[in-house]
Amino acid sequence: MARGNGVKWGIAIPQIFPESQVDMDLIREFVLRARALAYDSLWVQEHIEERQPNVEPLALLGYAAALNTGLHMGTSVLLSVFRNPVHLAKSFATLDRMLGGRLIVGIGLGAEPSLYPAFGIPPNRRVRRFTEGLEVMKALWTEQTPSYSGDFWRLDGTVMEPKPVQKPHPPVWFGGRHTQVLRRAVRLGDGWIGAGASSTDVFRENVAELRTILEQEGRDPATFPIAKRIYMALDSDKARAERRLKEWFQQRYANAEMATRVTVWGGPQECVDGIAAVIQAGAQHLQINPVFDHMEHLEALARDVIPHL
């Protein structure tokens, strides 16, 4: 079983296909096999404006939910500011129903301001737009005839049914690593996700700062989950792994050198050591993200890595 030492183990559904067309057969096989290996959760990311073929996250979650795995599923993370919060609240409520109350809503502000015009949104006051959108979703999830008046959104008895299964609503986990993001996560959220594009050292610093903020705000750390997305390359041939990682990171982030700085990579023992360091830094929920050879990683992690942690 893909669990170890009280840590919850999630894995990213294959979503980016840089060298081929989207492979739905692979996605289906991966999701069903993850259930058989007893991973705790499945995760998707936001990839809307991308050169590489990739699958829209909410549609992908709907597909995965229909496979009836019994796993938790979540977004890590969705850039909610680019979406109408009324539509988004409806989509998340529907997904929570489909999953029987096992949805985790991961959201973030994320993207560069230069991307906003493509979505018809001015980049100014984007934080306010983001927080209002979350307030609108919570109102629709929890109130029968919600009333809300903000700078961007207004509700006047707007009715949305069905409500999510989870009460008062699905847990909302924030992504991001700057101080103000951590403060918003503690003030408005139910958990926090460390970025895959940050190193273990940066994650450790973020966790320390987050715990300080939790104490300042009077929130119990035991009720505030900390997660970390981990880009992964398990391969005993380190030179090959490094080459393939750099190729992927160049395509995804236009930064090949970032690859070995933020990835856990190498043979089984090196990956055990790398993930152990992330756990020791404070991660309670792991979101493993293989960047290639998805089925091989799914099996090898469950067999050669997780049992040794």
Domain boundaries defined on the chain:
8-236+262-308
Q: Is 272 helix (H, G, I), strand (E, B) or coil?
A: helix
d(CA 74, CA 179): 24
Q: Are 182 and 198 in contact (CB under 8 A)?
A: no
43-81: b or e for each residue (b if 16 or more CB lie within 10 Å)?
A: bbbbbeeeeeebbebbebbbebbeeebebbbbbbbbbbb
- With a CB cutoff of 8 Å and minimum separation 6, the contacts of 41 are 8, 9, 10, 11, 71, 72, 73, 74, 104, 285, 287
Q: What angle do CA 170, 58, 142 make, to 5 degrees?
A: 25
Q: Specify the DSSP element, H or E, that contains 243.
A: helix 238-253
**Tokens found for residue 14:** 């294959």
* pTM to 2 decimal places: 0.95
Say which amino acid occupies 236.
S
Q: What angle do CA 239, 241, 245 make, to 5 degrees?
A: 120
Segments of the chain scoring below 70 in pLDDT: 1-5, 111
Q: Are 224 and 285 in contact (CB under 8 A)?
A: no
As a residue count, the chain comes to 309
pLDDT of residue 217: 97
Q: Which fold has domain 8-236+262-308?
A: TIM Barrel (3.20.20)
d(CA 93, CA 91): 6
d(CA 305, CA 29): 21
The label of the residue with tokens 């005993």 reads 236
